[in-house]
Structure 1
Amino acid sequence: MLKPMNSRQRSWTQHQWLRLIAGSIILVSLTLALSNPAWLWLTAFVGLNLLQSAFTNWCPLIVLLQRLGVRG
């Protein structure tokens, strides 16, 4: 029998929020680029930020999420 999830299990981690927000920004900017190609700079910015965070293990969005109280 399945147990109901408590609030701790339902809350998202910082990395889940990071993937949701980054993916959403990329999809929105790609959609906006259909009307103005300058929006591709936002896509490039998010992609480069994700790339640098892979090497430095530091991401500005994680810092923001920590300040907002999102669990690690």
Structure 2
Amino acid sequence: MTSWQIVRIIAGIFIFISVALGAPGSPWFVNEWFLAFTAFVGANILQSGLTRWCLMETIVRKLGAKAGA
């Protein structure tokens, strides 16, 4: 798997977990402030799309994943 694929998987997992913990109707609801983490992940996805740089991808590459096309 390439670094960009890993980053998208991580982002999807973070969003899924934070919505599950932050949505009042969820059986795993803890606190609505978990939705702030969802917004943070979304803002980072937007930023990486505009600037073509992603901190998570840099970290994943340093951990040994090959760069994507």
- Residue 23 (str. 1) matches residue 12 (str. 2): yes
Structure 1 Cα separation of the partners of residues 5 and 62 of structure 2:
16
Pairwise CA distance, 1:69:
1.1
Structure 2 Cα separation of the partners of residues 53 and 19 of structure 1:
11
Query: Unpaired segments of 5 or more residues in structure 2?
Result: 23-28
Name which of structure 1's ranges 28-37 and 45-54 shifts more when overlaid on structure 2: 28-37
- CA deviations 1:36-57 (Å, max 9, x no partner) are 1000010000000000100100
What is the identity, as a one-letter code, of the residue corresponding to 1:57?
R
CA RMSD of aligned residues (A): 0.7
Q: Hey, what does 2:62 align to over in structure 1?
A: 67
Q: Which residue, 19, 22, 39 being the options, matches 1:44?
A: 39
Query: Unpaired segments of 5 or more residues in structure 1?
Result: 1-11
Q: Which residue, 16, 32, 47 being the options, matches 2:21?
A: 32
Larger radius of gyration: 1
In proportion to residue count, which structure has more helix? 1
Runs (4+) of structure 1 exceeding 4 A deviation are none
